Amino acid sequence: MDKDALTAWALSSGWQMIAGHPSLTKPSSPKEAIVRLVLKATVVNVEVKKPAGKWEKVSGAPYASVAADAEGELPRGLGLETIPSIGMLMQENRDRMVFARMTGPIKG
């Protein structure tokens, strides 16, 4: 996968662009990123925000090592599966995006 493919996967899987990075947010604070993908020229890093507010790299890989999953879930080789509850966090973010589209401004 390359940078564009990873970005497309992330945005279709419930991630949103925050400060230029595909990010997942807290359920209680949907504007504050807690997990992000840092897409560099040759590598992608997964970073998690610590309670003190500092970002910590938890995994990373060159684009050539990252492959799309056959079932369309988490890309292989990126280490996302090492983050506890990543699937649940992605689902909550995806649901929030769907419901936000459904509850647009009421027309009178």
Q: Tens of pLDDT along 6-17?
A: 999 999 888 999
- Is 105 in a helix, a strand, or coil? coil
What single string gives the DSSP state of each residue in 20-85?
A: TEEEEE-SS-TTSEEEEEEE-SSEEEEEEE-TTS-EEEEEEEEGGG-B--TTSSSPBTS-GGGSTT
User: In the predicted model, what is the mean pLDDT of residues 59-74?
Assistant: 87
Q: In which band, very low, low, confident or very high, does the pLDDT at 31 lie, cut at 50, 70 and 90?
A: confident
* Cα-based angle 23, 19, 64 (whole degrees, multiple of 5): 55
Q: Where are the domains of the chain?
A: 3-102
Q: Which residues make beta-bridge pairs with 56?
A: 48
Question: Cβ–Cβ contacts within 10 Å for residue 22, how many?
Answer: 23
Q: Tell me the pTM.
A: 0.83
Provide the 3-class DSSP secondary structure of residue 104.
coil
Tens digits of per-residue pLDDT, 74-85? 899 998 888 888
